[in-house]
Amino acid sequence: MRVVVVGAGIIGACVARAAIVAGCDVVVLDRDQAGSGTTSRGEGNVLVSDKPPGPELDLALRSRRRWDDLGDELGREALELESKGGLVVATSVPVLGTLARFADEQRRCGVIVEDVARPVEVEPLITPGAVGGQWYPQDAQVQPVLATVAVLADAARRGAEYRPGTDVLSARSDTRGAIKGVVTTSGEVIDADAVVNCAGTWGGEVGRRLGGPVPVLPRKGFVLVTEPLPPSVRHKVYSADYVANVAASSEGLETSCVVEATRAGTILIGASRERVGFDASMSPSTVQRLAAQAVALFPFLAGVQLLRVYRGFRPYCPDHQPVIGPDPRVPGLFHACGHEGAGIGLAPATGDLIAAHLTGRDPLAVAGVDPAPFLPERLLGTDMEAS
Ligand SMILES: Cc1cc2nc3c(=O)[nH]c(=O)nc-3n(C[C@H](O)[C@H](O)[C@H](O)COP(=O)(O)OP(=O)(O)OC[C@H]3O[C@@H](n4cnc5c(N)ncnc54)[C@H](O)[C@@H]3O)c2cc1C
């Protein structure tokens, strides 16, 4: 089976590798370069800590194990995969209770989580106002662009063809309406038995071009990057309200910071969440809010220089679950997009699910995750403007 993967972000790379390992011939197309989309705008957190029980947590747990497999096969250095663990802290006793109840529910689903009575013993520079928290040893980090390039390079070594600078314009279909390839903006036809839409935030538009629109919308976020520092922040550290913001559906600005160090010594402070379409403008007040929250968590950051600020657009579906699976309207078309703020973490298991769908194997048996909650049919008829 010949498969065209549209989009070479982290999702397209993991889909391409899983498909070729499953025995498909694979061509990966990107209108730009590998990792140049939202993948280059994320922080690279591979989190289980922020997910309540449900399908996304199941996918995250599976994906977390698969990141370790990729680390073993491709080299942890090549991905900058660090199993550094995450600390979620509360600054008031009622919030601490809420965190503990959330952790209990997660434990029942297989998440490893430990109560932390004194956060300062885990993170020596944290605010003395942190009254307690939860420790999640499964939380990890990758460098998203390095990981994308490494996974794609491995797919290429196994025979996948990668074609940057190739913008997909439409589908080539047979008389039954089944997709038989894609047509690029330069008029080239690329034949295929199946096409996978891995276009991230542009998945709605690519789906439309291929005859199967899906409601994927942008959720803007800023990330702050400090000057490089000597070792100071040891783990991923975030405040309890982060979980509420991730799940929130309001259109307004939401900020709750996650603070973490990178291999280069810089500290990443992310991230805001805002529904403003593709408005790319800078927002000094948002940056100020994130910075203030980071200083509240780690007071020493008040004396540290900000080096730069970057922003990106998370791809989200109205029900905040990714869309992964065959399009019931267009035989041969598959979607793997809409992973919102968790696409880096969820990419390997997404690749496994799509590979199973492509090759007609049972996704639950192959990927160990129930595919039903992610199937495209749940979104049919959903308003593209809805959020
Ligand atoms: C501020 C911020 C922080 C984040 N932090 C994290 C985090 O810590 N952890 C985490 O897991 N996730 C995080 N995310 C989310 C994560 O970055 C995304 O979920 C993920 O990168 C989506 O990957 P993707 O491959 O689906 O999309 P993309 O990386 O956007 O890839 C899609 C590709 O499709 C290509 N494309 C589009 N249209 C066409 C076309 N017509 N023809 C050919 N190619 C096309 C694009 O060029 C692009 O390269 C964050 C996002 C933001 C914005």
pLDDT tens per residue across span 364-386: 999 899 999 999 999 987 765 44
Residue from 202, 235, 275, 350 to probe ligand 1 pocket by mutation (most atoms less than 8 Å from CB) = 202
pLDDT for the residue numbered 57: 97
Contact of 271 with 206, CB cutoff 8 Å = no
The percent helix, strand, coil of the chain (3-state, each to 5) is 35, 25, 35
pLDDT for the residue numbered 254: 72
Tell whether ligand 1 has an atom less than 6 A from the beta carbon of residue 10.
Answer: yes
Distances (CA, A) of 246 to 32, 97, 269, 288: 29, 19, 15, 20
In the block, residue with structure tokens 């600390």? 87
pLDDT for the residue numbered 229: 96
Q: What's the pLDDT tens digit per position in 113-152?
A: 999 999 999 999 999 999 999 999 999 999 999 999 999 9
Tell whether ligand 1 has an atom less than 6 A from the beta carbon of residue 142.
Answer: no
pLDDT for the residue numbered 291: 95
pLDDT for the residue numbered 385: 45
pLDDT for the residue numbered 244: 54
Using 70 as the pLDDT threshold, list the residues of the chain that sit under it.
242-253, 255, 383-387
pLDDT for the residue numbered 245: 54
Q: What is the number of the ligand 1 atom nearest to the C-alpha of 13?
A: 25
Tell whether ligand 1 has an atom less than 6 A from the beta carbon of residue 312.
Answer: yes
Provide φ and ψ at 335, rounded to 5°: -120, 140
List the alpha helices (DSSP H) in 51-186. Answer: 55-74, 76-79, 93-107, 144-157
- The rounded distance, in Å, linking the Cα atoms of 185 and 254 is 38
Round to the nearest angstrom and report the end-to-end CA distance of the chain.
Answer: 36
Q: How many whole angstroms from 236 Cα to the centroid of ligand 1?
A: 21
Tell whether ligand 1 has an atom less than 6 A from the beta carbon of residue 270.
Answer: yes
Tell whether ligand 1 has an atom less than 6 A from the beta carbon of residue 86.
Answer: no
- Could you tell me the pTM of the whole model? 0.96
Contact of 367 with 318, CB cutoff 8 Å = no
Tell whether ligand 1 has an atom less than 6 A from the beta carbon of residue 272.
Answer: no
pLDDT for the residue numbered 199: 98
- The rounded distance, in Å, linking the Cα atoms of 358 and 194 is 8
The domains found in the chain, sorted by start residue, are 2-72+144-216+319-379 (3.50.50.60), 86-137+217-316 (3.30.9.10)
Rounded to 10 degrees, the C-alpha dihedral 296/302/304/308 comes to 70
Distances (CA, A) of 64 to 41, 81, 96, 342: 20, 11, 26, 12
Distances (CA, A) of 102 to 92, 105, 111, 235, 255: 16, 5, 11, 20, 20
pLDDT for the residue numbered 387: 40
- The rounded distance, in Å, linking the Cα atoms of 345 and 367 is 15
